[in-house]
Structure 1
Amino acid sequence: MSNSNSTTAEAEEIRGSVAVADAPEQDDVEPEVDIEALEREGDIAADYIEGLLDIADFDGDIDMDVEGDRAMVSVVGATLDELIGDKGEVLEAMQELTRLAVHRSTGSRSRLMLDIGGYREGRRRALARIGAEAADEVKRTGEVKPLAPMTPFERKVVHDAVAEAGLHSESEGEEPNRYVVIHPVD
Protein backbone atom coordinates (compact mmCIF):
# COMPACT_ATOMS: atom_id res chain seq x y z
CA MET A 1 0.00 0.00 0.00
CA SER A 2 2.69 2.42 0.89
CA ASN A 3 4.22 1.78 -2.51
CA SER A 4 1.08 2.96 -4.34
CA ASN A 5 0.75 6.02 -2.09
CA SER A 6 4.31 7.05 -2.80
CA THR A 7 3.77 6.49 -6.52
CA THR A 8 0.65 8.68 -6.42
CA ALA A 9 2.50 11.37 -4.49
CA GLU A 10 5.38 11.25 -6.96
CA ALA A 11 2.97 11.51 -9.90
CA GLU A 12 1.23 14.50 -8.33
CA GLU A 13 4.58 16.15 -7.67
CA ILE A 14 5.69 15.57 -11.26
CA ARG A 15 2.38 16.82 -12.66
CA GLY A 16 2.51 19.87 -10.41
CA SER A 17 6.04 20.76 -11.42
CA VAL A 18 5.27 20.22 -15.10
CA ALA A 19 2.21 22.44 -14.85
CA VAL A 20 4.21 25.16 -13.16
CA ALA A 21 7.08 24.85 -15.62
CA ASP A 22 4.77 24.92 -18.64
CA ALA A 23 2.53 27.77 -17.47
CA PRO A 24 3.75 31.22 -18.49
CA GLU A 25 3.85 33.78 -15.72
CA GLN A 26 1.02 36.29 -16.13
CA ASP A 27 3.19 39.30 -15.34
CA ASP A 28 5.69 38.47 -18.08
CA VAL A 29 3.15 37.94 -20.87
CA GLU A 30 2.39 40.99 -22.98
CA PRO A 31 -0.16 40.82 -25.75
CA GLU A 32 1.44 40.90 -29.17
CA VAL A 33 0.75 43.93 -31.30
CA ASP A 34 -0.10 43.12 -34.92
CA ILE A 35 1.70 46.00 -36.63
CA GLU A 36 0.48 44.96 -40.09
CA ALA A 37 -3.16 45.03 -38.93
CA LEU A 38 -2.66 48.46 -37.34
CA GLU A 39 -1.01 49.76 -40.50
CA ARG A 40 -3.98 48.43 -42.49
CA GLU A 41 -6.33 50.27 -40.11
CA GLY A 42 -4.31 53.43 -40.69
CA ASP A 43 -4.52 53.01 -44.47
CA ILE A 44 -8.28 52.46 -44.36
CA ALA A 45 -8.72 55.45 -42.05
CA ALA A 46 -6.51 57.67 -44.21
CA ASP A 47 -8.54 56.81 -47.31
CA TYR A 48 -11.77 57.52 -45.44
CA ILE A 49 -10.51 60.86 -44.06
CA GLU A 50 -9.17 61.84 -47.47
CA GLY A 51 -12.62 61.24 -48.93
CA LEU A 52 -14.21 63.41 -46.22
CA LEU A 53 -11.70 66.19 -46.83
CA ASP A 54 -12.44 66.08 -50.57
CA ILE A 55 -16.20 66.22 -49.99
CA ALA A 56 -15.86 69.14 -47.55
CA ASP A 57 -13.28 70.84 -49.84
CA PHE A 58 -10.60 71.04 -47.15
CA ASP A 59 -6.90 70.86 -47.86
CA GLY A 60 -4.81 68.73 -45.57
CA ASP A 61 -1.96 66.28 -45.54
CA ILE A 62 -2.45 62.94 -43.85
CA ASP A 63 0.24 61.27 -41.74
CA MET A 64 -0.08 57.70 -40.46
CA ASP A 65 1.80 56.00 -37.66
CA VAL A 66 1.48 53.20 -35.14
CA GLU A 67 1.94 54.21 -31.53
CA GLY A 68 1.86 51.44 -28.95
CA ASP A 69 -1.18 49.33 -29.71
CA ARG A 70 -3.13 51.73 -31.88
CA ALA A 71 -3.04 53.29 -35.31
CA MET A 72 -2.58 57.05 -35.38
CA VAL A 73 -3.82 59.22 -38.24
CA SER A 74 -3.07 62.94 -38.26
CA VAL A 75 -4.39 65.61 -40.59
CA VAL A 76 -2.26 68.72 -40.89
CA GLY A 77 -3.03 71.84 -42.88
CA ALA A 78 -3.72 75.54 -42.77
CA THR A 79 -7.48 75.80 -42.18
CA LEU A 80 -8.64 72.86 -40.12
CA ASP A 81 -10.26 74.58 -37.12
CA GLU A 82 -13.76 73.72 -38.43
CA LEU A 83 -12.79 70.03 -38.37
CA ILE A 84 -11.80 70.29 -34.71
CA GLY A 85 -14.87 72.17 -33.51
CA ASP A 86 -15.58 73.60 -30.07
CA LYS A 87 -13.61 71.59 -27.47
CA GLY A 88 -12.80 68.96 -30.11
CA GLU A 89 -16.43 67.89 -30.66
CA VAL A 90 -16.16 67.62 -34.45
CA LEU A 91 -12.83 65.81 -34.12
CA GLU A 92 -14.41 63.26 -31.74
CA ALA A 93 -17.30 62.69 -34.16
CA MET A 94 -14.91 62.27 -37.10
CA GLN A 95 -12.85 59.80 -35.10
CA GLU A 96 -15.93 57.70 -34.33
CA LEU A 97 -17.03 57.75 -37.99
CA THR A 98 -13.52 56.76 -39.03
CA ARG A 99 -13.47 53.92 -36.51
CA LEU A 100 -16.81 52.72 -37.90
CA ALA A 101 -15.40 52.80 -41.44
CA VAL A 102 -12.40 50.74 -40.31
CA HIS A 103 -14.67 48.31 -38.46
CA ARG A 104 -16.88 47.91 -41.52
CA SER A 105 -13.82 47.09 -43.62
CA THR A 106 -11.92 44.85 -41.18
CA GLY A 107 -14.71 43.37 -39.06
CA SER A 108 -12.72 44.26 -35.94
CA ARG A 109 -13.21 47.05 -33.42
CA SER A 110 -10.65 49.80 -33.92
CA ARG A 111 -8.88 51.89 -31.27
CA LEU A 112 -7.59 54.27 -33.95
CA MET A 113 -6.68 57.76 -32.79
CA LEU A 114 -7.36 60.72 -35.06
CA ASP A 115 -5.65 64.08 -34.61
CA ILE A 116 -6.36 67.20 -36.61
CA GLY A 117 -4.06 70.19 -36.70
CA GLY A 118 -2.15 68.93 -33.63
CA TYR A 119 -5.19 69.53 -31.40
CA ARG A 120 -4.97 66.20 -29.56
CA GLU A 121 -1.24 66.44 -28.98
CA GLY A 122 -1.61 69.91 -27.47
CA ARG A 123 -4.58 68.75 -25.44
CA ARG A 124 -2.61 65.70 -24.26
CA ARG A 125 0.18 67.91 -22.88
CA ALA A 126 -2.31 70.20 -21.11
CA LEU A 127 -4.24 67.27 -19.62
CA ALA A 128 -1.07 65.53 -18.43
CA ARG A 129 -0.18 68.74 -16.60
CA ILE A 130 -3.70 69.00 -15.12
CA GLY A 131 -3.55 65.35 -13.97
CA ALA A 132 -0.10 65.78 -12.40
CA GLU A 133 -1.13 69.00 -10.60
CA ALA A 134 -4.34 67.42 -9.30
CA ALA A 135 -2.38 64.37 -8.10
CA ASP A 136 0.05 66.67 -6.26
CA GLU A 137 -2.91 68.39 -4.59
CA VAL A 138 -4.37 65.04 -3.50
CA LYS A 139 -0.99 63.98 -2.10
CA ARG A 140 -0.74 67.27 -0.20
CA THR A 141 -4.31 67.36 1.17
CA GLY A 142 -5.07 63.64 1.42
CA GLU A 143 -8.56 64.36 0.07
CA VAL A 144 -10.38 62.80 -2.89
CA LYS A 145 -10.48 65.17 -5.87
CA PRO A 146 -13.10 64.97 -8.63
CA LEU A 147 -12.29 66.74 -11.91
CA ALA A 148 -14.55 68.27 -14.55
CA PRO A 149 -16.30 66.01 -17.10
CA MET A 150 -14.03 64.85 -19.92
CA THR A 151 -14.09 62.80 -23.09
CA PRO A 152 -12.72 59.24 -22.99
CA PHE A 153 -9.46 60.42 -24.58
CA GLU A 154 -9.06 63.16 -22.00
CA ARG A 155 -9.82 60.83 -19.08
CA LYS A 156 -7.25 58.31 -20.34
CA VAL A 157 -4.52 60.97 -20.41
CA VAL A 158 -5.41 62.11 -16.87
CA HIS A 159 -5.54 58.51 -15.56
CA ASP A 160 -2.06 57.93 -17.00
CA ALA A 161 -0.69 61.11 -15.37
CA VAL A 162 -2.23 60.19 -12.01
CA ALA A 163 -0.83 56.64 -12.18
CA GLU A 164 2.60 58.06 -13.03
CA ALA A 165 2.34 60.19 -9.87
CA GLY A 166 1.71 57.00 -7.87
CA LEU A 167 -1.99 57.55 -7.12
CA HIS A 168 -5.21 55.81 -8.09
CA SER A 169 -8.02 57.33 -10.15
CA GLU A 170 -11.41 56.15 -11.41
CA SER A 171 -13.96 57.38 -13.92
CA GLU A 172 -17.42 58.04 -12.54
CA GLY A 173 -20.72 59.30 -13.93
CA GLU A 174 -22.49 58.76 -17.22
CA GLU A 175 -21.51 60.04 -20.66
CA PRO A 176 -21.26 62.84 -21.63
CA ASN A 177 -20.67 63.91 -18.02
CA ARG A 178 -18.19 61.21 -17.05
CA TYR A 179 -15.30 62.52 -14.96
CA VAL A 180 -12.10 61.42 -13.20
CA VAL A 181 -11.89 61.09 -9.42
CA ILE A 182 -8.38 60.98 -7.90
CA HIS A 183 -7.91 59.08 -4.64
CA PRO A 184 -5.14 59.47 -2.07
CA VAL A 185 -2.92 56.54 -1.15
CA ASP A 186 -4.52 54.51 1.64
Structure 2
Amino acid sequence: MRSVEKVGKTVNDAVTEALIELGASTEEVDIEIITKGSKGLLGFGARDAKVRVTLKAPAEVEPQIEVISEVKEDVKVANANKETETVAPPKSSKVKNKEKKDSEDAVVVTRDELAHVQALAEEFLYKLLREMNIEATVKSEVVNNNRLSIGFEGKSMGVVIGKRGETLDAIQYIVNIVANKGRTEYVKIMLDTENYRARREETLKKLAYKLSKKAQQSKKPIILEPMNPYDRRIIHSALQDSKIVKTHSEGKEPFRRVVITPNYQNKSYR
Protein backbone atom coordinates (compact mmCIF):
# COMPACT_ATOMS: atom_id res chain seq x y z
CA MET A 1 0.00 0.00 0.00
CA ARG A 2 1.04 3.62 -0.50
CA SER A 3 3.16 5.07 2.28
CA VAL A 4 4.72 8.49 2.96
CA GLU A 5 7.13 9.86 5.54
CA LYS A 6 6.69 13.38 6.91
CA VAL A 7 8.37 15.58 9.50
CA GLY A 8 6.91 18.32 11.66
CA LYS A 9 7.42 20.19 14.91
CA THR A 10 5.06 17.70 16.54
CA VAL A 11 3.75 14.24 15.69
CA ASN A 12 0.33 15.80 14.94
CA ASP A 13 1.88 18.25 12.47
CA ALA A 14 3.72 15.47 10.65
CA VAL A 15 0.64 13.23 10.53
CA THR A 16 -1.51 16.08 9.18
CA GLU A 17 0.93 16.70 6.32
CA ALA A 18 0.89 12.98 5.48
CA LEU A 19 -2.91 12.79 5.53
CA ILE A 20 -3.19 15.79 3.22
CA GLU A 21 -0.82 14.18 0.73
CA LEU A 22 -2.61 10.82 0.92
CA GLY A 23 -6.06 12.39 0.91
CA ALA A 24 -7.11 10.16 3.79
CA SER A 25 -8.46 10.32 7.35
CA THR A 26 -6.83 8.80 10.43
CA GLU A 27 -9.16 5.78 10.32
CA GLU A 28 -7.85 4.84 6.86
CA VAL A 29 -4.15 4.72 7.70
CA ASP A 30 -1.56 3.08 9.90
CA ILE A 31 0.70 5.56 11.69
CA GLU A 32 4.24 4.69 12.71
CA ILE A 33 6.09 7.24 14.83
CA ILE A 34 9.74 7.15 13.80
CA THR A 35 10.87 9.96 16.11
CA LYS A 36 8.72 11.92 18.54
CA GLY A 37 10.86 15.05 18.33
CA SER A 38 11.81 17.36 21.16
CA LYS A 39 11.71 21.07 21.94
CA GLY A 40 15.29 21.15 23.21
CA LEU A 41 16.49 23.63 25.78
CA LEU A 42 15.68 27.27 25.06
CA GLY A 43 15.27 26.38 21.42
CA PHE A 44 18.66 24.68 21.13
CA GLY A 45 18.88 21.03 20.21
CA ALA A 46 15.25 20.91 19.05
CA ARG A 47 14.37 17.96 16.83
CA ASP A 48 11.43 17.50 14.49
CA ALA A 49 9.02 14.61 14.80
CA LYS A 50 8.99 12.08 11.96
CA VAL A 51 6.23 9.65 11.04
CA ARG A 52 5.50 7.03 8.42
CA VAL A 53 1.85 6.91 7.36
CA THR A 54 0.55 4.00 5.28
CA LEU A 55 -2.87 3.56 3.67
CA LYS A 56 -4.75 0.53 4.93
CA ALA A 57 -6.21 -2.02 2.56
CA PRO A 58 -9.96 -1.36 2.07
CA ALA A 59 -10.88 -4.39 4.20
CA GLU A 60 -8.76 -3.11 7.09
CA VAL A 61 -10.69 0.13 7.56
CA GLU A 62 -12.66 -0.29 10.79
CA PRO A 63 -16.34 0.71 10.95
CA GLN A 64 -17.18 3.94 12.79
CA ILE A 65 -20.83 3.33 13.73
CA GLU A 66 -20.18 4.20 17.38
CA VAL A 67 -18.34 7.39 16.44
CA ILE A 68 -21.42 8.86 14.74
CA SER A 69 -23.44 9.10 17.96
CA GLU A 70 -20.42 10.44 19.83
CA VAL A 71 -19.89 13.14 17.24
CA LYS A 72 -23.54 14.15 17.38
CA GLU A 73 -23.36 14.48 21.16
CA ASP A 74 -20.20 16.57 20.83
CA VAL A 75 -22.01 18.88 18.43
CA LYS A 76 -24.87 19.39 20.90
CA VAL A 77 -22.47 20.14 23.75
CA ALA A 78 -20.37 22.44 21.60
CA ASN A 79 -23.45 24.34 20.44
CA ALA A 80 -24.54 24.76 24.02
CA ASN A 81 -21.16 26.22 24.92
CA LYS A 82 -21.03 28.31 21.73
CA GLU A 83 -17.57 26.95 20.97
CA THR A 84 -18.36 25.17 17.71
CA GLU A 85 -17.40 26.62 14.34
CA THR A 86 -20.31 25.64 12.10
CA VAL A 87 -21.08 26.09 8.45
CA ALA A 88 -24.61 27.38 7.92
CA PRO A 89 -26.92 26.22 5.12
CA PRO A 90 -26.12 27.63 1.67
CA LYS A 91 -28.56 30.55 1.85
CA SER A 92 -27.46 31.66 5.31
CA SER A 93 -23.77 31.22 4.51
CA LYS A 94 -24.06 33.62 1.59
CA VAL A 95 -25.64 36.20 3.87
CA LYS A 96 -22.86 35.75 6.41
CA ASN A 97 -20.19 36.02 3.75
CA LYS A 98 -21.80 39.22 2.49
CA GLU A 99 -21.96 40.60 6.02
CA LYS A 100 -18.28 39.75 6.53
CA LYS A 101 -17.31 41.39 3.26
CA ASP A 102 -19.38 44.48 4.06
CA SER A 103 -17.75 44.65 7.49
CA GLU A 104 -14.25 44.53 5.99
CA ASP A 105 -15.08 47.07 3.31
CA ALA A 106 -16.68 49.35 5.88
CA VAL A 107 -13.24 50.26 7.25
CA VAL A 108 -12.42 53.70 5.87
CA VAL A 109 -8.75 54.50 5.35
CA THR A 110 -7.38 57.52 3.50
CA ARG A 111 -4.72 57.20 0.82
CA ASP A 112 -2.20 58.95 3.05
CA GLU A 113 -2.90 56.52 5.90
CA LEU A 114 -2.53 53.53 3.58
CA ALA A 115 0.72 54.91 2.18
CA HIS A 116 2.04 55.40 5.71
CA VAL A 117 1.15 51.86 6.81
CA GLN A 118 2.55 50.49 3.55
CA ALA A 119 5.87 52.26 4.08
CA LEU A 120 6.15 51.04 7.69
CA ALA A 121 5.37 47.46 6.67
CA GLU A 122 7.90 47.40 3.82
CA GLU A 123 10.63 49.05 5.91
CA PHE A 124 10.17 46.54 8.73
CA LEU A 125 10.12 43.58 6.34
CA TYR A 126 13.35 44.61 4.64
CA LYS A 127 15.04 44.94 8.03
CA LEU A 128 13.71 41.58 9.19
CA LEU A 129 14.79 39.78 6.01
CA ARG A 130 18.23 41.36 6.25
CA GLU A 131 18.57 40.04 9.82
CA MET A 132 17.60 36.60 8.50
CA ASN A 133 20.34 36.89 5.84
CA ILE A 134 17.74 36.65 3.10
CA GLU A 135 17.89 38.74 -0.05
CA ALA A 136 14.41 39.36 -1.37
CA THR A 137 12.28 41.93 -3.13
CA VAL A 138 9.17 43.11 -1.33
CA LYS A 139 6.19 44.16 -3.42
CA SER A 140 2.94 45.45 -1.95
CA GLU A 141 -0.40 46.49 -3.35
CA VAL A 142 -3.61 47.97 -1.97
CA VAL A 143 -6.69 45.74 -1.92
CA ASN A 144 -10.24 47.21 -1.80
CA ASN A 145 -8.78 50.57 -0.76
CA ASN A 146 -8.35 49.43 2.84
CA ARG A 147 -6.03 46.40 2.96
CA LEU A 148 -2.51 45.52 1.89
CA SER A 149 -1.19 42.45 0.10
CA ILE A 150 2.59 42.00 0.32
CA GLY A 151 4.64 39.44 -1.58
CA PHE A 152 8.29 38.34 -1.45
CA GLU A 153 10.51 37.36 -4.33
CA GLY A 154 13.98 35.90 -3.91
CA LYS A 155 15.99 32.86 -2.89
CA SER A 156 15.51 30.74 0.25
CA MET A 157 11.79 31.49 0.40
CA GLY A 158 11.30 28.10 2.03
CA VAL A 159 12.86 29.58 5.16
CA VAL A 160 10.35 32.44 5.10
CA ILE A 161 7.43 30.03 4.68
CA GLY A 162 8.50 27.51 7.31
CA LYS A 163 6.72 24.25 8.07
CA ARG A 164 3.04 24.50 7.10
CA GLY A 165 3.46 28.25 6.69
CA GLU A 166 4.09 28.81 10.41
CA THR A 167 7.03 31.19 9.88
CA LEU A 168 5.12 33.17 7.26
CA ASP A 169 2.13 33.46 9.62
CA ALA A 170 4.38 34.60 12.47
CA ILE A 171 6.01 37.28 10.29
CA GLN A 172 2.60 38.42 9.09
CA TYR A 173 1.40 38.75 12.69
CA ILE A 174 4.39 40.86 13.67
CA VAL A 175 4.13 43.07 10.58
CA ASN A 176 0.48 43.79 11.33
CA ILE A 177 1.37 44.84 14.88
CA VAL A 178 4.30 47.05 13.84
CA ALA A 179 2.54 48.76 10.92
CA ASN A 180 -0.69 49.38 12.86
CA LYS A 181 0.89 50.57 16.11
CA GLY A 182 -1.03 53.52 17.53
CA ARG A 183 -3.78 53.32 14.89
CA THR A 184 -7.52 53.29 15.61
CA GLU A 185 -8.50 51.98 12.16
CA TYR A 186 -6.75 48.63 11.65
CA VAL A 187 -5.27 48.02 8.20
CA LYS A 188 -5.15 44.27 7.52
CA ILE A 189 -1.90 43.06 5.93
CA MET A 190 -1.53 39.69 4.20
CA LEU A 191 1.88 38.23 3.34
CA ASP A 192 2.67 35.59 0.73
CA THR A 193 5.59 34.21 -1.25
CA GLU A 194 5.90 31.81 -4.17
CA ASN A 195 2.10 31.70 -4.24
CA TYR A 196 2.24 29.54 -1.10
CA ARG A 197 -1.16 30.47 0.31
CA ALA A 198 -2.96 29.75 -2.96
CA ARG A 199 -1.18 26.39 -3.32
CA ARG A 200 -1.96 25.46 0.28
CA GLU A 201 -5.59 26.48 -0.19
CA GLU A 202 -5.90 24.37 -3.34
CA THR A 203 -4.41 21.33 -1.56
CA LEU A 204 -6.84 21.66 1.36
CA LYS A 205 -9.82 22.14 -0.94
CA LYS A 206 -8.97 18.95 -2.83
CA LEU A 207 -8.69 17.14 0.50
CA ALA A 208 -12.08 18.54 1.59
CA TYR A 209 -13.84 17.42 -1.59
CA LYS A 210 -12.26 13.96 -1.48
CA LEU A 211 -13.16 13.37 2.18
CA SER A 212 -16.70 14.71 1.69
CA LYS A 213 -17.29 12.00 -0.92
CA LYS A 214 -15.89 9.38 1.45
CA ALA A 215 -18.18 10.62 4.21
CA GLN A 216 -21.17 10.38 1.84
CA GLN A 217 -20.26 6.87 0.67
CA SER A 218 -19.51 5.50 4.15
CA LYS A 219 -22.33 7.48 5.83
CA LYS A 220 -19.91 8.07 8.71
CA PRO A 221 -18.27 11.25 10.05
CA ILE A 222 -14.65 11.88 9.15
CA ILE A 223 -12.46 13.64 11.71
CA LEU A 224 -9.42 15.49 10.38
CA GLU A 225 -6.19 16.09 12.23
CA PRO A 226 -5.79 19.34 14.23
CA MET A 227 -5.39 22.43 12.01
CA ASN A 228 -4.84 26.12 12.57
CA PRO A 229 -7.84 28.50 12.19
CA TYR A 230 -6.80 29.60 8.68
CA ASP A 231 -6.68 26.02 7.35
CA ARG A 232 -9.94 25.10 9.09
CA ARG A 233 -11.71 28.04 7.46
CA ILE A 234 -10.57 26.79 4.04
CA ILE A 235 -12.14 23.37 4.71
CA HIS A 236 -15.37 24.93 6.00
CA SER A 237 -15.57 27.34 3.05
CA ALA A 238 -14.94 24.60 0.48
CA LEU A 239 -17.90 22.57 1.78
CA GLN A 240 -20.25 25.31 2.96
CA ASP A 241 -22.62 24.87 0.01
CA SER A 242 -22.43 21.09 -0.04
CA LYS A 243 -25.74 19.23 0.00
CA ILE A 244 -24.18 15.91 1.03
CA VAL A 245 -22.11 16.89 4.07
CA LYS A 246 -21.90 19.42 6.88
CA THR A 247 -18.80 20.57 8.76
CA HIS A 248 -18.04 21.84 12.23
CA SER A 249 -14.96 22.20 14.41
CA GLU A 250 -14.50 20.68 17.82
CA GLY A 251 -11.84 20.70 20.53
CA LYS A 252 -9.70 23.48 21.91
CA GLU A 253 -6.66 25.16 20.39
CA PRO A 254 -4.14 24.05 19.35
CA PHE A 255 -5.89 20.68 18.92
CA ARG A 256 -9.09 21.97 17.34
CA ARG A 257 -10.10 19.92 14.30
CA VAL A 258 -12.68 19.79 11.53
CA VAL A 259 -15.37 17.09 11.45
CA ILE A 260 -17.05 16.31 8.12
CA THR A 261 -20.47 14.75 8.75
CA PRO A 262 -22.88 13.26 6.17
CA ASN A 263 -26.05 15.29 5.70
CA TYR A 264 -28.63 12.77 6.88
CA GLN A 265 -31.47 15.01 5.64
CA ASN A 266 -30.30 14.49 2.07
CA LYS A 267 -32.60 12.19 0.08
CA SER A 268 -29.69 9.87 -0.77
CA TYR A 269 -29.62 8.72 2.87
CA ARG A 270 -33.28 7.73 3.00
Normalised by the size of structure 1, how large is the TM-score? Answer: 0.70
Which residue of the partner structure matches residue 51 of structure 1? 127
Amino acid at match of 1:37: V
Q: How much does 1:107 deviate?
A: 3.4
The structure number with the bigger radius of gyration is 1
Identity rate, percent: 23
> Which segments of 5 or more consecutive residues in structure 2 lack a partner in the other structure?
1-94, 266-270
| Whole-Å separation in 2 of the counterparts to 1:73 and 1:118 | 11
Structure 1 residues 76 and 164, CA gap change in structure 2 (3 angstroms)? farther
Residue 167 of structure 2 is aligned to residue 90 of structure 1: yes
Q: How much does 1:151 deviate?
A: 1.5
8 Å CA contact retained: 2:134, 2:155: no
Which residue of the partner structure matches residue 180 of structure 1? 258
| Whole-Å separation in 1 of the counterparts to 2:208 and 2:128 | 34
Q: How much does 1:43 deviate?
A: 4.9
Report 1 or 2 for greater relative contact order, CA contacts < 8 Å, sequence distance ≥ 6: 2
| Whole-Å separation in 2 of the counterparts to 1:38 and 1:142 | 52
| Whole-Å separation in 1 of the counterparts to 2:118 and 2:194 | 17
User: What is the RMSD computed on CA atoms of the aligned residues?
Assistant: 3.0
| Whole-Å separation in 1 of the counterparts to 2:109 and 2:256 | 31
Which residue of the partner structure matches residue 102 of structure 2? 31
Which of 232, 237, 248 in structure 2 is aligned with 1:170? 248
8 Å CA contact retained: 2:107, 2:185: no
Amino acid at match of 1:56: M
Which residue of the partner structure matches residue 217 of structure 2? 140
Bigger helix share: 1
Deviates more, 1:101-110 or 1:160-169: 101-110
| Whole-Å separation in 2 of the counterparts to 1:37 and 1:53 | 28
Deviates more, 1:130-139 or 1:70-79: 70-79
Which residue of the partner structure matches residue 153 of structure 2? 76
SS at match of 1:64: strand
Deviates more, 1:166-175 or 1:62-71: 62-71
Q: How much does 1:118 deviate?
A: 2.4
Count of residue correspondences: 160
Normalised by the size of structure 2, how large is the TM-score? Answer: 0.51
Structure 1 residues 112 and 138, CA gap change in structure 2 (3 angstroms)? farther
Deviations 1:11-32 (A, max 9, x none): xxxxxxxxxxxxxxxx587616
Q: How much does 1:42 deviate?
A: 5.0
8 Å CA contact retained: 1:38, 1:71: no
Deviations 1:122-155 (A, max 9, x none): 1111011111111222222222211111112111
SS at match of 1:160: helix
8 Å CA contact retained: 1:42, 1:72: no
Structure 1 residues 170 and 85, CA gap change in structure 2 (3 angstroms)? same
> Which segments of 5 or more consecutive residues in structure 1 lack a partner in the other structure?
1-26
8 Å CA contact retained: 1:77, 1:117: no
Q: How much does 1:181 deviate?
A: 1.1
